Amino acid sequence: MAQVISLDSLMIPVSTDTMRQQLESGGCSSSSCGSSDGPADMAPEVWAKVKDHPCYSEEAHHYFARMHVAVAPACNIQCNYCNRKYDCANESRPGVVSEKLTPEQALRKVVTVANEVPQLSVLGIAGPGDACYDWKRTKATFDLVAKEIPDIKLCLSTNGLALPDHVDEIADMNIDHVTITINMVDPQVGTGIYPWIFYNHRRWTGLEAAKILHERQMQGLEMLAARNILVKVNSVMIPGVNDEHLVEVNKVVKAKGAFLHNVMPLISDPAHGTYFGLNGQRGPRAMELKALQDKLSDGTKLMRHCRQCRADAVGLLGEDRGQEFTMDQLAEEISYDPSKRAAYREIVAENRGEHVAQKAAAAEVVAESDTDATVLVAVATKGGGRINQHFGHATEFQVYEVSPSGIGFVGHRKVDQYCQGGWGEDATLDGVLAVLEGVTIVLCAKVGDCPKDSLAAAGIQVSHDYAYDWIESGIAAWYAAAYPSAARLSA
**Binding stretches for another protein (CB under 8 A):** 73-76, 78, 84-85, 100, 129, 133-134, 198, 201-203
Nearer to ligand SF4, 60 or 79 (CB): 79
Residue of the chain from 54, 124, 129, 406 that contacts ligand SF4 (CB under 6 A) = 129
Q: Please list, in sequence order, all residues whose beta carbon lies within 8 angstroms of the beta carbon of residue 107, skipping any fewer than 6 positions away.
A: 141, 144, 145, 148
* x-marked contacts with ligand SF4 along 226-265 as a string, rule CB under 6 A: ----------------------------------------
Amino acid at the residue 356: V
Tell me: cis bond preceding 404? Omega within 30 of 0 counts.
no
391 binds, among ligand SF4, another protein, none (CB under 5 to 8 A by kind): none
Nearer to another protein, 30 or 102 (CB): 102
Binding residues for ligand SF4, how many (CB under 6 A)? 13
Nearer to another protein, 85 or 488 (CB): 85
Q: Please list, in sequence order, all residues whose beta carbon lies within 8 angstroms of the beta carbon of residue 165, skipping any fewer than 6 positions away.
A: 132, 135
Residue of the chain from 23, 67, 69, 89 that contacts ligand SF4 (CB under 6 A) = 89
Does 79 interact with ligand SF4 (rule: CB under 6 A)? Answer: yes
262 binds, among another protein, ligand SF4, none (CB under 5 to 8 A by kind): none
Nearer to ligand SF4, 56 or 81 (CB): 81
| Contact yes or no for 391/435 (Cβ under 8 A) | no
Nearer to another protein, 147 or 202 (CB): 202
* x-marked contacts with ligand SF4 along 135-164 as a string, rule CB under 6 A: ------------------------x-----
90 binds, among ligand SF4, another protein, none (CB under 5 to 8 A by kind): ligand SF4
Nearer to another protein, 100 or 310 (CB): 100
Closest CB 194 distance from ligand SF4, rounded Å: 8
Nearer to another protein, 71 or 467 (CB): 71
Does 75 interact with ligand SF4 (rule: CB under 6 A)? Answer: yes
Nearer to ligand SF4, 84 or 211 (CB): 84
85 binds, among ligand SF4, another protein, none (CB under 5 to 8 A by kind): another protein
Q: Measured in whole angstroms, how far is the alpha carbon of residue 88 from the centre of its chain?
A: 17
Residue of the chain from 32, 57, 78, 191 that contacts ligand SF4 (CB under 6 A) = 78
Closest CB 369 distance from ligand SF4, rounded Å: 45
159 binds, among ligand SF4, another protein, none (CB under 5 to 8 A by kind): ligand SF4
- Sites of contact with ligand SF4 (CB under 6 A): 75, 77-79, 82, 84, 88-90, 127, 129-130, 159
